[in-house]
A and B are shown apart, each in its own frame.
Chain A
Amino acid sequence: MVQLLSTEQMAEFANSGCLFFDGLIDNETNKEFLNDIGHTEIENVDNMQKYFQNIKASSSIPRIPAGTPLKNAYPHKSPLEKIFQNEVVAGAINSLVGSEAVVDHQFLHLTFPTKYFKKTNQRQMSQVNHQDSTIDPRITFDIQLFYFPTDVTKEMGGTRYHPGTHLRIVNEMGIAKYQNIKGQKKIVCKAGTIGIFHNGLWHGAGVNFSDEIRYMFKVRLQPTEKQELLWDPEKKYKPLPNKALYWTDENQEKTVNDILMKSYPWQEADTNRLDKINTIKFWRMLTGNKNLDIDYWLTRIENELY
C-alpha cells in the first residue's frame, strides 16, 4: 500500500516548493546503493573523472530513454527499484505527479572535496543559483526527487535551495547574480533522506569542504495526467470559508490556509502579495476548485463589474 501525502503536506509543497523525508531509506538499501556504484574509501580515489567513469561503467543504474514510464525504469531488485517502491516515496510521487509519471532524466551528482581541486589547480567554486531546466510557464509541474545515500554534514556543502521561489518564472541561470538570498537553506541530512523539489525551485550545489565525496542521486519526473486531487482520490477536500482580515479574530485556529499563505524573508513587500496570489492559483489547480480563495486575494481583484 502506498502512503499518499496529507493535505497539510500538499499545502507545504504548494507554498514552499519542496518536501523532505529525513532518513527515510533504510541503511541496508543505502549500503547496497553505495556498493552498487562502487563507493570506496576516499584514499583509493585519485582522479575525479576516472572515478565517475567507473561508476557509469559498472553500476546497475540503467540508461533510461527520456519519457520512459517510471514503473519499468529500474532493474528488478536493484537498490533504486527498492527506493521507488518505498511506500512513502511512491505515495509522494503518486500524490504530486500521478502513478503514470515518466522519467525525464536522472543523474548521480558527485561533489569532490577540496584536495582534488588543489591537485588539479582548479578554483573550487559553489554552483550558482539557477532554476532547472529552462524558462517554463506551464501550470503543470514536474518534480525532482533527490536521494542522499550517505549522511550530508554542513561541511559537505549540500544543495542550497530557496523555499517559496518555485512559482517565480525565470530563465535558468538568469538568477546567478543573486549570490546570497535571505532565508536560503542548505541540505544537511541523514543517510537515506529523500527530498522532492518542484521543478521551478531556485537552487545550486554547495562547495564540499569535508574530506568525503558527497553523492546525490536525482531523477526528474513528469506527469502524464492532470495533477488534481491526486493525493485525495475520494475528493474529500473542501475549501475553507472566508475569515475576518486585518481586524482579526485572535482565537482562530491554524489551518491549511496558514500553511499556504506563509511568507519568506526574501520576498519583496510588493511581490510577496503576487507570490500569495500565485500560490492560491496553484492551489486552485491542485484541488480542481476554480473559485477557491484565501484571504480574499483573488476575490478582491476578480470582482470586475465593467
Chain B
Amino acid sequence: MTKRQKVLVLYLKFPSLEAEVISWATFDGTGQKLHMTGDSDEPPYPTGLDALLDGWRLFQSSQAIPEHPGEEFRTSYLKHEFFFEKIEEGDF
C-alpha cells in the first residue's frame, strides 16, 4: 500500500469558501485519471464549501493584495484561488 496525492484547485467568485466555483483544475497523483485542459464544462462542486463536505482538505488560498496605486483598474489573473488535497491509499 502506498499513498498518493490528488490536488483540486478551485477559483471562486469571491474570497470565501461559500462562493460559486468559476474555474477548476484536477491533478490525480494516483494515475487513475489523466485530467487535461478543457476536459469538463461543469465544475466538480458548485462551491468551495461543497469540496470540503466531500472530504477535500484545503492547504492554500490566495491572499488579498491591495491594488497598486494607479493600477486599480488593471485586470489580470483569476483572483480567488483555493488549493485542496486528498491523500489516497492503494496499490498504484
Residues of A within 8 A of B (CB): 123, 125-129, 157, 160, 167-170, 174-182, 184, 186, 204, 206-207, 265-271, 274-275, 277-278, 281
B79 touches A180 (CB 8 A): no
Known: A178-B23, A180-B23, A182-B23. A269 touches B14 (CB 8 A): yes
With A180-B25, A269-B14 as given contacts, are A160 and B37 in contact (CB-CB < 8 Å)?
Answer: yes
A contact face: mostly helix, strand, loop, or mixed? loop
Contact call B77/A126, Cβ cutoff below 8 A: no
Q: Are B80 and A268 in contact (CB under 8 A)?
A: yes
Q: Which 3 residue pairs of A and B lie closest in terms of their CB atoms, listed nearest first?
A: A179-B25, A160-B38, A181-B23
A-B contact pairs, 24 of them (CB 8 A): A125-B37, A126-B37, A126-B39, A168-B75, A168-B76, A170-B76, A170-B77, A176-B37, A177-B25, A179-B9, A179-B24, A179-B26, A179-B35, A179-B37, A180-B23, A180-B37, A180-B39, A182-B43, A184-B41, A204-B37, A268-B13, A268-B78, A269-B19, A274-B75
Say yes or no: is B73 at the interface (Cβ < 8 Å to chain A): yes
Which residues on the A side are within 8 Å of B23 (C-beta)? Answer: 178-182, 266
Q: Is B33 an interface position by the 8 A CB rule?
A: no
Task: List B residues at the A interface (Cβ < 8 Å).
Answer: 9, 11-14, 19, 21-26, 34-41, 43, 73-80
Q: Which residue of B lies closest to A186 (CB)?
A: B38
Give Cα distance in the complex from A204 to B79, angstroms.
21
Inter-subunit contact B38/A178 (CB<8 Å)? no
Are A270 and B14 CB-contacts (below 8 A) given A160-B38, A169-B76?
yes
Question: What residues of A have a CB within 8 angstroms of the CB of B80 in the complex?
Answer: 268
A125 touches B77 (CB 8 A): no
- Residue contact A167 to B75, C-beta cutoff 8 Å: yes
Question: What chain A residues lie within 8 Å of B11 (beta carbons)?
Answer: 178
Which residues of chain A come closer than 8 Å to B12, judged between CB atoms? 268
